[in-house]
Structure 1
């Protein structure tokens, strides 16, 4: 099983938490709190992979946290938000095809 690093934006108890993936532009999820957003993030990864597969494309490779930290475009996000590893279950995508 592989993992993708997600950036978690939590604006507090009165707002939904958002999760997005630096390596997967357009792939994001949200939830009432961080826990719900992270659970939804796994489903978002699968849906994103299925959409790419339908277009004949594969998921981009996941970068390490060290590689993401070396990306100047992500410096602000990485310094102001939490990060998490979100598992990607490729077998779930294969089963859906």
Structure 2
């Protein structure tokens, strides 16, 4: 089931960007010169926030009702909407996969996994989880 998190949108102008916050996800926000830019950014920010929280072993808060956020004086004068979260982002179910690699690459992968004290699957997962940090 898709989760829908309420968002609060601060209107932009010719001199200021549109700002969007996700009150249920502390520190999750976006900004953009246009509302479309800010909305695309908030979708990415929510995905990144959830991914980082899961990596840290944190619990993902359930979405509040839109009415609760609208009643919060912090957001007086703001516009409200919701952002949908792909349920796959919240799913840590183990799934078996089949990959095809040349033997020489597989041997190298297994050696690296052994050296790291990991299983092949664990090593691939570790590399995948670390990769975004290397890019950032």
SS in 2 for 1:23: coil
Q: Matches of 2:25 and 2:15 in 1, distance apart?
A: 27
User: Contact 2:19/2:29 (CA < 8 Å) preserved in 1?
Assistant: yes
Q: What residue number does 1:89 align with?
A: 86
Q: CA 1:93–1:60 in 2, change beyond 3 Å: closer, same or farther?
A: closer
Q: Shift of residue 13 of structure 1?
A: 2.4
Q: Shift of residue 93 of structure 1?
A: 5.9
Give the TM-score, by structure 1 length: 0.82
Rg larger in 1 or in 2?
A: 2
Q: Which has the higher strand share?
A: 1
- 1:30 partnered with 2:31: yes
SS in 1 for 2:60: coil
Provide runs of 4+ in structure 1 moved above 6 Å. Answer: none
- Structure 2 gaps of 5+ residues are 93-127, 130-136
Q: What residue number does 1:16 align with?
A: 17
Of structures 1 and 2, the one with the larger relative CO (CA 8 A, separation 6+) is 1
Q: How many residues align?
A: 93
Equivalences for 1:1-97 in 2 at 5 Å?
Answer: 1-70=2-71, 74-77=72-75, 79-92=76-89, 94=91
Q: CA 1:51–1:76 in 2, change beyond 3 Å: closer, same or farther?
A: closer
